[in-house]
Amino acid sequence: METSTTQATALNFDRKNLSNQKLLDLYESLVMPRRIEEKMLILLRQGRISKWFSGWGQEAISIGAVNALQKDEFILPMHRNLGIFTGRNIPLERLFAQFQGKKSGFTKGRDRSFHFGTVEHHIVGMISHLGPQLAIADGIALADKLSAQNKVTLVFSGDGASSEGDFHEGLNVAAVWKLPVIFVIEHNGYGLSTPSEEQFAFKYFTEKGPGYGMETVRVEGNNVLDVYQTILELAEDIRKNPRPVLVEAITFRMRGHEEASGTKYVPKQLMDDWGKLDPVNNYEAYLESIGVLDEKTKEQINKKVKKAINDGLEKAFAEEAIIPDLNEELADMYFPYEQKLIQPQSGKRSEKRFVDAISDGLRQSMEKYPNLILMGQDIGEYGGVFKITDGFKKQFGADRVRNTPLCESAIIGAGLGLSIKGYKAMVEMQFADFVSVGFNQIVNNLAKIHYRWGQHADVVVRMPTGAGMAAGPFHSQSNEAWFFHTPGLKIVYPSNPYDAKGLLNAALEDPNPYLYFEHKGLYRSISESIPDDYYTVEIGKAKLIQEGEQVSIITYGMGVHWAKKAVEELSISADILDLRTLLPWDQEAVKTTVKKTGKVIFLQEDTLTGGIGAEICAWISEHCFQDLDAPVMREGSLDTAVPFAPNLEKQFLPENRFKIKLQSLINY
């Protein structure tokens, strides 16, 4: 049986106006990944490498594309695009060191094969989730468009990965914003072992483009000249008239998804048919038929390629295995950055509500950083559902204050793409609850990218959070603990207008990824006199907002206000420590207050089980046990979803239970 979507058709080469030298250059470029593949399969059988993802049979797509673009235009490859890496002239010894998990590889042994990027070579590598690549390409292209660079970004997707929501989001955003992106779909008939007809209900991807308002082109993916000339012409046109184009490259994967999986699931006739269309052999035969390639030249090229491969392998194998360095591993989770606190200059102050302080800080950061781009649903003319960005579009323009489609994953990914090109990005979640749709981009792309290959992620995600407004299960969640568990992120959660402005400014200064939680219940319920000038608050530093002798209350956000109210009502003398920064949290401040009072309770609005309080209370029990005069206690919301009805929500929240537990701790 032959899968209808990857029907093998004869290859018809047309050199058009290409010189003999260009034809030979393409041949040498095409031979390189094939010869590497041949060598890697030998090494795999010898047990000298652990895993290999083959692009055998698909090389012409990568080689045609990489040769068609300018050297400083970004390409975002997948795991069958070895030719992109070799085509960008990455030193083979570093590439092979990467494959072997050696220190000189691009990820210092922390990630595998093609899971890396290199800004020097204008490549952004994949993660195993596949789909998020498209959104990053959108962000890179947006940066080029904003900078009037007249550049093209090219991103790959397999036909299997096209079933992911990120594929739709990436194409949709590019179409709406008219971004100069070429989306190349390598249509090879299978997603691992699942054939195309079980992946989607259409025949060709060119049918999808019109649904996005996007041009589409289909090419013979095994014909290097067809791919090269198509991409070359498209890129030249897109640089003048920025817009996205979907290019479908019909091809076939001649080996397994990875070598261990094999190809037994592929019908023999289909494999035989495509085997006759091998992109390397057919192009080689074509060059010989027109007198461009003779035996001597072919031997010279292959000898040169094989020598380069063997030399690179020799250097990579000679490198010693990695000696783990604990300090380096911990330090590399974050881009090196030393905060310099900025104090207000003029002494001028004014009364500002919590919501006004956030808006003020964001506006001043926009003025301070011309490369800061804001993105979010309804943040433009409407000013956001909470009016944080009211008037911003008029002041800063639609390019910098960008309304987005409803696609959280694509917008967070676009923020990372902007960062790769030297921009700063602020992404507003309309409600913190909606971040679940963009969860993968945050925990697997933003958080890990510096650890993996040294790329910073200068992205702040603003998160309107919290309950108390009778908004129900999907507009009231406290979800900071979802991210507290993820190394590579920084998390701040202010409880007052002064910190709201200063922490936001600090987060936007720092080139590392931040989650900035802002409690909706505080927006218009509290105010204070704060500096009119730009200033920052120290990241990772808790604040003792009230001093006492009987007990230490450790909390953050709305919990600060519940704690202040409780100690007043119960006439208790308490230290109230506002964490302010949740990741990294201030261990010294916690230790100091526990030593002082000997009794401690943690208060959080989040549900009790698995919350931030559980981690900090465990740390106190381990590190401050000798200073304790009572069990470490904690209180949080019920372990249920957030209910809608006001009386149910009041019962859900911990405020009343906290008072009871606080009194019992005092009496212990």
> Is residue 337 within a helix (H) or strand (E), and if so which, with residue range?
none
Q: How far is 413 from 129, CA to CA, in rounded Å?
A: 13
Cα atoms in the 13 Å half-sphere on the side-chain side of 436:
9
| Residue that has been written with the tokens 């506002």 in this structure | 578
Q: What single-letter amino acid sits at 172?
A: N
Torsion, Cα of 613, 615, 618, 624 (10° steps) = -80
* Cβ neighbours around 323 below 10 Å, total: 6
Residues 6+ apart with CB under 8 A from 580: 492, 493, 494, 495, 499, 503, 537, 541, 542, 543, 556
Closest CA to 506 of 654, 663, 361: 361
Max Cα separation, the chain? 96
3 state DSSP class of 589:
helix
486, amino acid identity: T
Residue 606 structure tokens: 């989040």
Contact 392, 374 (CB under 8 A): yes
Are 419 and 503 in contact, with CB atoms under 8 Å apart?
no
Active site residues per annotation = 475
CA 423 – CA 146 distance, rounded (Å)? 10
CA-CA distance, 419 to 511, in Å (whole number)? Answer: 9
Please state, as a whole number, how many other Cβ atoms lie within 10 Å of the Cβ of residue 70.
11
Residues in CB range of 168: below 8 A, 6 or more apart: 407
Query: What are the two backbone dihedrals, phi and then psi, of residue 229, each rounded to the nearest 5 degrees?
Result: -70, -35
- Judge contact between 498 and 538, C-beta under 8 A: no
In angstroms, how far is CA 50 from the centroid of its own chain? Answer: 27
Q: What's the distance, Cα to Cα, between the start and end of the chain in Å?
A: 76
Cα–Cα separations (whole angstroms), residue 73 to 92, 122, 144, 616, 618: 21, 6, 10, 46, 49
